[in-house]
């Protein structure tokens, strides 16, 4: 996944260089409140969450009370897969209230149809508890997330 993030970053840099002039006419694809991307293309939120927009769609955005249909993969820095709906072969229906804070925050930045890569710092993941034998305390998590639809509003 780390290699895919680097490849996506390179592709994103090219697309930004080619497409940024087209955004000057007011057709920006990021919310007006979004901070500017870092040099590597990732946006860092006030909480420390980092995300890279692979595709931003124009659909509705979920709230903390919604349930959504998502495809996601969660990996550790070494590439160990913690959980993956892709590996199970079908998207999952999840309630935002049941997710780790970083996953929930990322989904609330996305609109239906969007695809993000997200870096979740340990304090927004499983914190100091970790998940015994799987996620170390305060370990950073790497997500790929596709938001398909909002099930409940």
- Beta strand 115-120 with 141-152 is antiparallel
pLDDT in tens, 10-56: 443 333 333 333 333 333 334 556 678 888 899 999 999 999 999 99
CATH of the domain at 8: 3.10.50.40
Say if CB 124 and CB 101 are below 8 A apart: yes
- Looking up tokens 């840099």 gives 13
Give pTM, 2 decimals: 0.78
Neighbouring residues of 96: CB distance < 8 A, sequence distance ≥ 6: 62, 63, 64, 65, 66, 67, 68, 104, 107, 108
Query: What residue numbers bound the domain in which 142 lies?
Result: 2-152
Number of domains in the chain: 1
Q: pLDDT, tens digit, for every residue of 56-93?
A: 999 999 999 999 999 999 999 999 999 999 999 999 99
């Amino acid at each position: 996944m780390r290699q895919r993030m680097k490849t996506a970053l390179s592709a994103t840099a090219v697309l930004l260089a080619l497409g940024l002039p087209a955004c000057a006419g007011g057709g920006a694809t990021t919310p007006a409140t979004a901070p500017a991307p870092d040099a590597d293309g990732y946006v860092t939120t006030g909480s420390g969450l980092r995300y890279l927009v692979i595709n931003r769609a124009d659909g509705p955005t979920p709230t903390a009370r919604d349930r959504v249909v998502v495809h996601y993969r969660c990996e550790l820095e070494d590439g160990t897969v913690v959980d993956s709906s892709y590996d199970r072969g079908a998207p999952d229906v999840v309630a935002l209230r049941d997710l780790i804070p970083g996953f929930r925050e990322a989904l609330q930045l996305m609109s239906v149809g969007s695809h993000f890569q997200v870096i979740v710092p340990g304090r927004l993941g499983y914190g100091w508890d970790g998940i015994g034998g799987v996620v170390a305390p305060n370990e950073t998590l790497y997500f790929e997330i596709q938001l398909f639809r909002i099930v409940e509003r």
